[in-house]
Structure 1
Amino acid sequence: MNKKKRNVIDKAHELFIIQGYHATSIQDILNHSGISKGSFYNYFTSKGELFKAVFNLIQDNMESERDKLLIGEDLTDKDIFIKQVSFMMELSWKNKIIQLIEDVFASNDPDLITFIKQSKYFYLTWIYERFLNIFPKNQEKYLVDCAVLYTGMMKNMMHTSKALNRIIPVPQMAQYCLDRVMTILDDISRKDIHLFVRENINQLHPQLNYNDFFNNEFSIATLNVKKVMEKQLAPKAPKLTTYLNLLYFIQEEIMNKNEDSKHFLIESALTTLKTGSEFNDTNEFITYEQILANMKYYPIA
């Protein structure tokens, strides 16, 4: 991204946090970022378009840092999920996301309101995808309901604690809500009842790209290869450390979508991994390699 354009986004973000979206004028943004009106309109067609850029940048940074918490960890670990949720909630409060959203609705801008309504379903989808990691396969058809319930619980817990001026640690709320959802999941699984299905998630935002680099399939494949490595190699074997570092390097580079990353570095790391005779002919590694091939990453011949 152009450095000057990024500076305008960052400066507008500062003003939106301090003053709110509605109270911040384009002239305020021009003064704070030090650019001319002509330059501003070269980058953005309106203040609303600038808001979208600010909001998307917040979301991208949040998702990147959230997903870093998974590197080298077990996707089924509920404690890691709680850490991720807590991180997102705390960053949302820091960036006054709720206040910004309320400002947008107060602005009566139809385009921005539609943008916000679509954006909020990405969080619901992420919760659902993580529940697929955490809970057993035989409970899968009940997890859309559980994701809806969890996001609603967390939202209202946060709002109520703020309204009452009660300081409740976010991890405590996240764990409390997860425990309640687990109880509900056992109940609806036993009774075989649910209101929503996976297709409903897709209908909420059909434009969502489920083939994103850091997707569920790639995450699970990475975890499976990690488990095979740990099983086949002695815990303190130098080669295990080397292979795990290479595995984490590939995961982090793909996860971060780093534009400066060199394609050949990922392929070079994959090439070295492929020399691991202890695991390179396992189904787990073959699946992992195929997923990377689908992303256009291949071992160097």
Structure 2
Amino acid sequence: MSDKKRMIVSAALRVFACKGYRAASMQEIAEEAGVAKGSIYLHFKSKDELALAAISDVYDRVRRRMSELEADDGLTPRERFIRQLEAQLAVGSDNAEWIRRLWHDHASEIHEALPGFVLRIRAETADWLQRSIRSVYGEACAPYACDIALMMQGAIGEFIGYFLLGGKPLEPQRLARYLVARMDDIVAGLSGSGERPLVPGDELEELVRSLTGGCGPASRQTAIRELREQLEALRADGADTGELEEALGLLAAEAAKLLPNRVILRAMLGHVRALAPEPLQPAVDRLEREMQQM
């Protein structure tokens, strides 16, 4: 997103938070952004499209933060999961007013693409949760990972709704650690229960594929993570991987977006391929296949 578009989107979020989506006018957004009203239409065809871009931008910011935490080797799987959950909750806390107003303005009616957008976010979140649960608790918990992920997703959504829609302060760190502690209780209860899981892992994976076309942020990040792991092995052998790591980090940040810029992805992928030594080329090939499905 260009600086001009980002400035307009930021202004729109402030106006939506103050007046609500339906009451806000493009003229007010233009005045808040310090631009002529006509210049907004050079970037966005309508207020609906601008609102969708604003929602997408907020989601992309939290995905970038989660990608940064995913790449932080100094975190344990448990601490990484808590920090990523905090990042998601913090976005809700930081944007509480306009989220409340969008909700009361029947946000699902803002743009025809929004319901599908929300479904994709829900699918990606469920997939992230089940992968994180496997990472935190190990393979012993794997049969119940999808069941626990769906329970956690429901709990997260209900708590966010209670705090944000009720106008109550949301404390991301406290809520994240509380939810993970409750997840500990659920894992302990299910692990020794002998019960058959309600949702097999392949069913959730199929749902994610159907809603994302098989090429959402999770699958792109998996390919990037595999490439990064091979890169770390080369670095351990004494190879100079600094420039390649930087390029891969930029690629990961863009790929983490729900609606990434394809031109940027292709350019960054070409740069990564040019820097990658021969042993890494198969991993780059796989990443390229993921990008081509977009």
Q: Normalised by the shorter chain, which TM-score bucket?
A: 0.7 to 0.9
Corresponding residue to 1:219 among 221, 225, 233: 225
Seen in structure 2, the aligned counterparts of structure 1 residues 29 and 114 have a Cα distance that, compared at 3 Å, is same
- For the pair 1:293 / 2:290, whether they are aligned, the reply is no
Shift of 1:269: 3.9
Contact 1:26 1:47 in 2 (8 A): yes
Once residues 136 and 102 of structure 2 are traced to their aligned partners in structure 1, the CA distance between those partners, rounded to angstroms, is 30
Once residues 262 and 290 of structure 1 are traced to their aligned partners in structure 2, the CA distance between those partners, rounded to angstroms, is 17
Shift of 1:89: 1.0
Seen in structure 2, the aligned counterparts of structure 1 residues 204 and 23 have a Cα distance that, compared at 3 Å, is farther
Shift of 1:82: 0.7
Query: Which protein has greater RCO, CA pairs closer than 8 Å, 6+ apart?
Result: 2
Contact 2:147 2:197 in 1 (8 A): yes
Seen in structure 2, the aligned counterparts of structure 1 residues 254 and 15 have a Cα distance that, compared at 3 Å, is same
Seen in structure 2, the aligned counterparts of structure 1 residues 102 and 166 have a Cα distance that, compared at 3 Å, is closer
Shift of 1:26: 2.5
Shift of 1:194: 2.5
Shift of 1:208: 1.3
Shift of 1:255: 0.4
Give the TM-score, by structure 2 length.
0.73
Contact 2:26 2:47 in 1 (8 A): yes
5+ unaligned residues in a row in structure 1: which ranges? 234-238, 275-285
Corresponding residue to 1:144 among 138, 143, 146: 146
Once residues 45 and 246 of structure 1 are traced to their aligned partners in structure 2, the CA distance between those partners, rounded to angstroms, is 39
Contact 2:223 2:286 in 1 (8 A): no
Once residues 115 and 82 of structure 1 are traced to their aligned partners in structure 2, the CA distance between those partners, rounded to angstroms, is 27
Aligned to 1:44: 44
Shift of 1:64: 0.9
Counterpart of 2:283, as a letter, is I
* Mapping of residues 253-272 of structure 1, within 5 Å: 253-257=250-254, 259=264, 265-271=271-277
Instruction: Please give the secondary structure, in 2, of the residue aligned with 1:295.
Output: helix
Once residues 290 and 123 of structure 1 are traced to their aligned partners in structure 2, the CA distance between those partners, rounded to angstroms, is 28
Shift of 1:83: 0.9
Aligned to 1:199: 203
* Mapping of residues 99-248 of structure 1, within 5 Å: 99-105=100-106, 108-109=109-110, 111=112, 114-115=115-116, 117-121=118-122, 122-160=124-162, 169-190=171-192, 191-197=194-200, 198-200=202-204, 202-203=206-207, 206-211=210-215, 212=217, 214-220=220-226, 222-223=228-229, 226=232, 228=233, 239=238, 242-243=240-241, 245=242, 248=245
C-alpha root-mean-square deviation of aligned residues, in Å? 3.6
Contact 1:86 1:174 in 2 (8 A): yes
Once residues 196 and 15 of structure 1 are traced to their aligned partners in structure 2, the CA distance between those partners, rounded to angstroms, is 42
Contact 2:144 2:190 in 1 (8 A): yes
Percent identical: 18
